[in-house]
Amino acid sequence: MDCYVGLDVSMEETAFCVRGPEGRILGHGKVPTDPEAIAALQRFGRPARVVLETGRMANWLHRGLVARDLPAVCVDARQAHAVLSQMPNKTDANDAAMLAELARTGFPRAVRVKSEAAQGMRALLKARDLVLRQRMDLDNTIRGLLTSMGVRLPKGPRKWSERVELALEANEALALALKPLLRLREDIARSLAELTRRLLAEARGSELCRRLMGVPGVGAITAYAFVATIDDPTRFAHSRSVGAYVGLTSRRYQSGEVDYAGRITRRGDSMLRTLLFEAASSLITRAGGGGALREWAVRLRAKVGHKKAGVALARKLGVILHRMWVDGTQFRPA
């Protein structure tokens, strides 16, 4: 007999609920968060659908269940929350029971689960992004403390850290606070350089990334992030869907006679969206190169301003990169 399983996943234990075709609960409880332990739930019947929400462990658990021939489906946690929030009592058992009901009715839409290779690429990108933001925060903190004490950096050494050290020679109290931060900054700078070297080596070693880097404004990091985020280009029936996937399309509100488009949705992956916008901005502002693509963006900037033109060009870059990936073609400037 077919059954439908709902899983409310946590780090150590997973609450489960098994429903029959008519909705009757066949079993419920908790098992260790492990694909093998969850696969043992087949004692209640042959699962027709196993539903779990997106979360930190969703990718790993979904791959483990699929590897054991279980029809696992990962659903958007926000969509599931809209249903789960209707219950008066929020418990793991109730969440699992409602997810089992969603599995039985087939209401939720499945979310694409990234491959293990893409998840590894994303880990490298996120690690570099974290270290980069930490260095920026540290630099801003040091600058703010120097400015608050009226200390100006001397002209001389090209390295910013050496200029800070020279400025601290005349202020012992401030030196006690900032010298540990400068040492920390050096450690962060070394880690950032190491992660950047690894990322560039990975990107330049990929034929696909090298081909995508042929697009004006698209560098190694943007191409690598695009491949890691999209993972499988066949998931999109149309290349223009990439713009909506990364949140570069405008919101639309329509009700009766009211119909207007607002700001971009900013849904999807913020890292890829930022990198595409940076690539578009660099293409618009740099002198020469870019061909017809840059000329189109410059004409648009004259009409709507730099930010809107940058968003439009970022969306176009995403569409071009996807089409090149699907077709296996090189970028043609014309």
Query: What value does the mean pLDDT of the chain take?
Result: 92
* Beta bridge partners of residue 46, listed in sequence order: 2
Please write the tens of the pLDDT for every residue from 2-29: 899 999 999 999 999 999 999 999 999 9
pLDDT at 287: 66
Q: How confident is the model at residue 98 (pLDDT cuts 50, 70, 90)?
A: very high
Residue 145 CA to residue 168 CA, distance in Å, equals 11
Percentage with pLDDT > 70 across the chain: 99
Residue 252 CA to residue 329 CA, distance in Å, equals 34
pLDDT at 39: 95
Percentage with pLDDT > 90 across the chain: 78
Q: Which CATH architecture has domain 2-105?
A: 2-Layer Sandwich (3.30)
Instruction: Give the pLDDT mean for 153-174.
Output: 87
Q: Where are the domains of the chain?
A: 2-105, 117-204, 210-327
Count of Cβ atoms closer than 10 Å to residue 68 Cβ: 12
Judging by DSSP bridges, how do beta strands 258-264 and 250-255 pair with one another?
antiparallel
Q: What are the strands, taking DSSP E only, across 201-268? A: 250-255, 258-264
Please write the tens of the pLDDT for every residue from 197-253: 999 999 999 999 999 999 999 999 999 999 999 999 999 999 999 999 999 998 888
Least confident of 107-111, 192-196, 290-294: 107-111
